[in-house]
Amino acid sequence: MTTSNPQVRRATVEDLPKLGPLWELENLSRPDLEKRFKEFQVVDGAGGELLGAVGLQVAGLEGHLHSEVFAHFEQADALREILLERAQVLARNHGLVRIWTQLATPFWHQNGFQPAGSDLLPKLPGAFAAGQKPWLFVQLKEEAAPVPTIDREFAMFKEAEQERTQKMFRQARVMKMVAAVVAVVVFLLCVVWAVLFFKARSSRSISSPPSQHDL
């Protein structure tokens, strides 16, 4: 067999009839993995044969390579190289900081994976199945430094102050509008009162009888 011009891609539901026997050959749980087939990247041969596959589970900023299978043992390392390159591209696309694995073949040790120490294991996501095998990891990029508590609290205080200031400005604008409306209403009432006052005075002047002096 040859691995010339292999095509690597994401698994589809149509790949399950080919993946199933390979999982069973490696004593992997076919029913469980069938539910997670979208995690798998597969390599197609020139004749359409499925040559190999590996799963990449993502949890937050951590990735987990798992459940590798190959149709032909002699092609395994060549296909692992292709699948690792694919996994690294996907990891960059997801912004992952690390890839974990329990795959124990020498290839992974020779390509950057190293044993995870007790200081790093607490960062292992609970979503990744633990098992008894030791964990390996490869660091892809530095983690963002956690924001110190005092800086975080100051940022929260600053945000709260900005919100309170904006609220005060909104209240001031509303009060200004209310005051303007009240002023207009008072002015209109004054105008109406003045008009009514002068009309009433004019009516009294017209209706008053002439005095004796006027006669």
> What confidence tens digit (pLDDT) does each residue in 152-189 have?
566 667 767 776 777 777 787 778 888 888 888 888 88
Assess whether 59 and 100 both reside in one domain.
Answer: yes
Assess whether 135 and 153 both reside in one domain.
Answer: no
Domain membership of residue 2 (yes or no) is no
Q: Which of 114, 139, 164 is the last residue of a domain?
A: 139
Domain membership of residue 86 (yes or no) is yes
Q: What pLDDT was estimated at residue 117?
A: 93
* Average pLDDT, rounded, for the chain: 86
Q: What pLDDT was estimated at residue 212?
A: 53
Say whether pLDDT at 1 is over 50.
no
Assess whether 178 and 197 both reside in one domain.
Answer: yes
For residue 128, give its domain range.
7-139
Q: What is the mean pLDDT of residues 92-106?
A: 95
Answer whether 34's CB lies under 8 Å from 20's CB: yes
The CATH code of the domain that includes 76 is 3.40.630.30
Distances (CA, A) of 118 to 96, 124, 136, 195, 205: 21, 11, 12, 91, 106
Name the β-bridge partners of 56. Answer: 65
DSSP secondary structure of 118-176: TTTGGGS-TTS---SSPPEEEE-SPPPPPPPHHHHHHHHHHHHHHHHHHHHHHHHHHHH
Assess whether 114 and 201 both reside in one domain.
Answer: no
Q: What is the mean pLDDT of residues 132-144?
A: 90
Q: What pLDDT was estimated at residue 4?
A: 63
Q: What pLDDT was estimated at residue 23?
A: 97
Assess whether 180 and 75 both reside in one domain.
Answer: no
Per-residue pLDDT reduced to its tens digit, 36-79: 999 999 999 988 899 999 999 999 999 999 999 999 999 999 99
Q: What is the mean pLDDT of residues 129-141?
A: 89
Q: Which of 139, 158, 181 is the last residue of a domain?
A: 139
Domain membership of residue 116 (yes or no) is yes
Q: What is the mean pLDDT of residues 108-115?
A: 95
Q: What is the mean pLDDT of residues 181-202?
A: 82
Residue given tokens 């200031």 in the structure block: 165
Q: What pLDDT was estimated at residue 170?
A: 73
Domain membership of residue 215 (yes or no) is no
CA distance 183 to 205: 33
Q: Which of 85, 112, 139 is the last residue of a domain?
A: 139
Assess whether 163 and 59 both reside in one domain.
Answer: no
71: which residues sit within 8 A by CB, 6+ positions away? 22, 49, 50, 51, 52
The terminus-to-terminus CA distance of the chain in angstroms comes to: 139
Domains of the chain: total: 2
Q: Which residue from 38, 165, 4, 25 is spatially nearest to 15, judged by alpha carbons? A: 38
Assess whether 202 and 152 both reside in one domain.
Answer: yes
Assess whether 85 and 171 both reside in one domain.
Answer: no
